[in-house]
Structures are given as structure tokens and as C-alpha cells.
Structure 1
Amino acid sequence: MAEKDAGALRDAPRQWRVTASETPFEGGKTSVRTDRVVMPDGSVAARDYQVHPGSVAVLALDEQDRVLVISQYRHPVRHKLWEIPAGLLDVPGENPLGAARRELYEEAHVKAEDWRVLVDVYTSPGGSDEAVRIFLARDLSDADGERFEVCDEEADMEVARVPLAQLVRGALAGDLHNNCLVTGVLALTAARTEGGLDALRPAEAPWPARPFRA
């Protein structure tokens, strides 16, 4: 097995040939697609996956090193999960920073002055094309105006601020499961040892997985 230089690792765009494609299910925000894909040995295999518009999430960190979290019921997993504010990129080409600001306002009635890209991930690349950009938001304050009116699952939401170290312990203990929360708090902890938070990418950094308008 060849040894790789970790500093040279980079995911590479690649497109295997698709001989046929159909969409057996279309929902309000996502759909399911079946592609017939040519494998390296020349055979053709069916690949089913969720087609997703993409998402943003916000790890909002206050001056006391606490993270703003919300608790929300998630029906597919039959759990009420602790999460960080997040939402879909509802408009094709939508600027992810604008969407992140919106989600932080709508879910927590909070605004932030300092924004960075914390990490970009594919949530489940074997079964979905969903891409998520997780932002780090600092210099927090209450948003102006009236609170956003919530409904459905969001009407039962709880909002809290929890020390970062407590969230890291909860993730490693198996008590917290939301992928954006777990990825975000572990990435933030790692970033502090890899150049510091000010070395993170700027908030408008390119995002090839979901190109956006400036």
C-alpha cells in the first residue's frame, strides 16, 4: 500500500458515465434519482440517491466560549436532537452566507459580526448529494425587530448556550448525534490548534459543491 503525503490529499471532481437516469420520487425540497453508471470494469450498475439543494449551518460562539444550540424533533430518527442553527439553500445559486445569517436570525433571533467558513462536508456521499457549509459566527448580539414566527417542528424548539467543551464531551460520549453539531464542535476544537480561528477561510470563500452568486 502506497503511503500518501497528508498535505497533498485533495478530493478530486470526477464523473463516471451515466447511461440512463430517472427520478422515481419528487418531494417538495428533495427528490430521489436512479442513475445507471458505467463501472471501471465496464459493467453498469444502478445507483439510487437523494438529490438535495444543499444546506448551511452556523456554529455561533459567544465571548464566554459557549455555543448557541437548539433542540428540535427529527421524525426520521424519532429523536429530539440538539443541533446548531441550519437550513436549506432554498434558492438556486443562493449566497450561503446570506442563508446562514437568515437561519441564525430565524431560529435564535441572533446576529453576528464576524463570519468565517469552518468546514465544508458532504453529509452522506454514498446516498445523497447534499453538501453543507458550516460557518463559524462570532461577536454575537440580539437581532433587531420582532422575533421570526415559527411553526411545525420549530414551534417546539428550545434554545440554549452550552460551553464548547461540554459539547465535545457529549459528542465523544455518544450523547449528541446531529452531524452538523458534532462536525462543527470538533472542527472548531481542531482549528484552534491549526493556526487559530482567524486563519479560517473567509465567509465568502468559493464553494465548488454549491457555486453561488457574490
Structure 2
Amino acid sequence: MSANPGPAEGPISRTNGRHPFTTLSTSDVYVGNVLALRSDEVAMPGGGRSRREVVEHPGAVAVVALDEWDRVVLVHQYRYPLGRRLWELPAGLLDVRGESPRHTAQRELAEEVGLAARDWSVLVDVAASPGFTDQAERVYLARGLSEVARPEPVADEEADLVVDRVPLDRAIESVFAGEIVNAPAVSGLLAARAVRDGHVRPRSGDAEWADRPTRFAARSEG
């Protein structure tokens, strides 16, 4: 029996795929307030062409705000496409021009739940469904919490927002029970437990984000 090789060092190995998938033509199908749908003709391996429909998204951030009693801040919010309320992390779109993702996370934490944090780090970057959208979220870990003034929500789903603090282990149980299904919440909570238990170290709060969406934001800038 061979010996256990132990943990691998360095990044996961890459394959030898080299085709550039050049965009031959592009056209807009729909452009809305928070997304756009475009249709691209793409050069495929072997000389063929294929049509790719892409949903452009501004990107978003979410925050695992963990207090000194190991409780995580969750919000219960109605999500119209699913037709029900979901337990999620405080989160928001990257829809302010020139604002860094970390600053967006700080602003959303204050606006949604009335909190600030002393320490910020990056837990995970999540590509929601890369087969058809560039939507991606960055999930932060926020520690050293303190209360700040929270603007009174007056419109849309946020006017019906419920905020609670849940022990992190209970939140993890809710993930595996299918009670928490929001993708940034699922990945962020699992990552936060891995950090808390000393299995991994989070990245800097200003770490590079290679897959941050830019196409939708560029529309308003052009």
C-alpha cells in the first residue's frame, strides 16, 4: 500500500487547453437596471462556431459578520424569483461607480444591519453559474463588530427585512438541512467555519479579484 502523499503544495494543476474562444460577433438582447443579456458568436475548437447567451451582472458582495460569541448575523429577506423568504448574509450589488468591493461590503453591513467591523478579510469568491452568466460574489469575513446608525428602510424588500444572530454551528446545520440555500451564504458560512477552526487562513480584505464582473458596469461608463 502506498503512503499517503500528504497535502499538495501550490495551485491546482492546469490542463493543456489553449483554444482562445474568440468572440466573432455580439449583440444585445436585453439591457435592464441590474442585468443585461447579450448573444455572442464564438469560435470553437475544431473550426466551428457556436452561439453563447450571456447574462451580464454588476457583481455583488456578502458578509459573514461574526461576533465575539461566535454568532453570525443573518437576514431573512423575500426573494421574488423563488417566491419565498430566504436566510442570507448581509449583501449588496457593486453598483456604486468607483467604490471598492470592500467598501461596498462595509456600506451594506451598516445599511442592512447597522454594524461596522474592525477586521476585514476575504473568505471566498463565488461564480454563481459560469455556464451562462458572469455574475460573481465576493464573501468577506468581518470581525470586531460594533453598532452604527442604520438608515430606516423605506422601500422594496428591505422594508420587510428581518435581522437575527445565529450561532455559527447552528447556521452550518441549516446549510446541510437545506434551510439556507443562497449560494454566497452557503459558501461563506462553510468557509467561516474552516477559518474559525484553524484549517485555512482568509485572504487580505483587498485581495485581487480576477473574476469581478466589469462588462455591465462598463455600459454606464461608456
TM-score range, shorter chain: 0.7 to 0.9
1:1-214 alignment runs, 5 A limit: 7-9=10-12, 15-143=20-148, 145=149, 147-193=151-197, 195=199, 199-210=201-212
Give the equivalent residue in structure 1 for 2:3. none
Q: Structure 1 length as normaliser, TM-score?
A: 0.88
Gaps of 5+ in 1: none
Q: Displacement, 1:56? A: 0.6
> Alpha carbons of 1:33 and 1:176: their partners in 2 closer, same or farther (altered >3 Å)?
same
Shift of 1:195: 4.7
1:134-192 deviation per Cα after TM superposition (whole angstroms, max 9, x unaligned): 0000111111x453434111111100000111111111111211111111111112234
- The answer to whether the 8 Å contact 1:50/1:128 transfers is yes
Q: After TM superposition, where is structure 1 displaced by more than 4 Å over at least 4 residues in a row?
A: 10-15, 193-196
Give the Cα–Cα distance (whole angstroms) in 2 for the partners of residues 177 and 14 of structure 1.
Answer: 35
Task: From the superposition, tell whether residues 6 and 127 of structure 1 become closer, same or farther in structure 2 (CA, over 3 Å).
Answer: farther
Shift in Å, 1:10: 6.4
Secondary structure of the equivalent of 1:19? strand
- Which residue identity does 1:191 align to in structure 2? V
CA RMSD of aligned residues (A): 2.3
Q: State which drifts further: 203-212 or 20-29.
A: 203-212
Over the matched positions of the two proteins, sequence identity in percent amounts to 43
CA distance in 1: counterparts of 2:28 and 2:20, whole angstroms: 19
> Contact 1:97–1:203 at 8 Å: present in 2 too?
yes
Q: Please say which structure displays the higher CA radius of gyration.
A: 2
Cα deviations across residues 38-76 of structure 1 (Å, max 9, x unaligned)?
A: 111221111112101111111100011110000100011
Match for 1:23: what amino acid? D
Once the two structures are superposed, residues 75-110 of structure 1 have per-residue CA deviations (whole angstroms, 9 ceiling, x without a partner) of 111120000011111134430111000100110011
- Residues of 2 paired with 1:85 and 1:173: CA distance? 21
**What is the SS of the residue equivalent to 1:105?**
helix
Task: State the 1:14 CA deviation.
Answer: 8.1
